[in-house]
Amino acid sequence: MLANLSASNVTIGKSEYRQDLVRGSSAKNLAVQLYSAAGFGESTADLAWDGHGIIADRGEIVAETERFSLTGTTVVADVDLRALAEDRMRQTSWGQNAARHRRPLRSVVVERVADRLDTGVFRRLERRIDPRPFVPSDPAKLDLRCGEVFHIMTSALARRLLSLPAEKRRVVLGVSGGQDSTLALLIAVRAMDLLVLRAPGSSR
């Protein structure tokens, strides 16, 4: 978890710029990034401050504070540290860095302290969980993503067919009526159209 206490003043459009920076830092570092800008009490005659607080988890902003509050604000969000650690294990660059820089680093062991919080706190999540995390929630972006997936699969099949001798460039497909086989059929038809291949005895 990375924490950034910032004395950054506010200007027009700076909040969006901060969001991009914090989102990018959390994605690049595979980390939870906490950002807190100076607030109302820091205001002077020359500069203004908005007290912008952001929590980002591996490229996704999960919580933000209200800006321009006169009394200060806080925000709480749940983050998945286990998923974060497993993501880092899958990224080989982290293992290389650990092997190279392990010895100079200092390890600090903190004694476990009994949690005095009400157990009810752990029965709710302080962040929104996307029910479809692998596709965009914006319908327009979803259409673009699905189109990209379709084109990737189509071009991959077309390239595979081109690698075969001309007399063997054919596709045999069993269609069950389900979604998977229907998608496979659409991809096969599109690949055939791209390569201008036709079924034996067919005019198309």
Q: Residue 6 pairs with which residues in a beta bridge?
A: 37
Q: Which residue has the higher pLDDT, 76 or 45?
A: 76
Q: Which of 34, 32, 35, 26 is nearest to 7 (CA)?
A: 35
Which tops the pLDDT comparison, 122 or 149? Answer: 149
pLDDT in tens, 173-188: 888 888 999 999 999 9
Residue range 4-40, pLDDT digits in tens: 999 888 888 889 999 999 999 999 989 999 999 988 8
39 in Cβ contact with 72 (< 8 Å): yes
- Mean pLDDT score across all residues of the chain: 85
CA end-to-end distance (rounded Å), the chain: 59
pLDDT 10s digits, 95-107: 677 777 766 667 7
Tokens of 95: 């293992």
Please name the amino acid found at residue 67. Answer: R
Q: Tell the CATH topology of 2-101.
A: Nitrilase/N-carbamoyl-D-aminoacid amidohydrolase (3.60.110)
The owner of tokens 């820091």 is 42
Distance CA 193, CA 55 (A): 48
Write out the E strands in 38-113.
53-57, 60-64
Q: What is the spatial order of strands in the sheet that 53-57 belongs to? A: 2-6, 32-37, 53-57, 60-64
Residue range 72-92, pLDDT digits in tens: 899 999 998 888 888 888 887
Q: Alpha-carbon distance 188 to 157, whole Å? A: 7
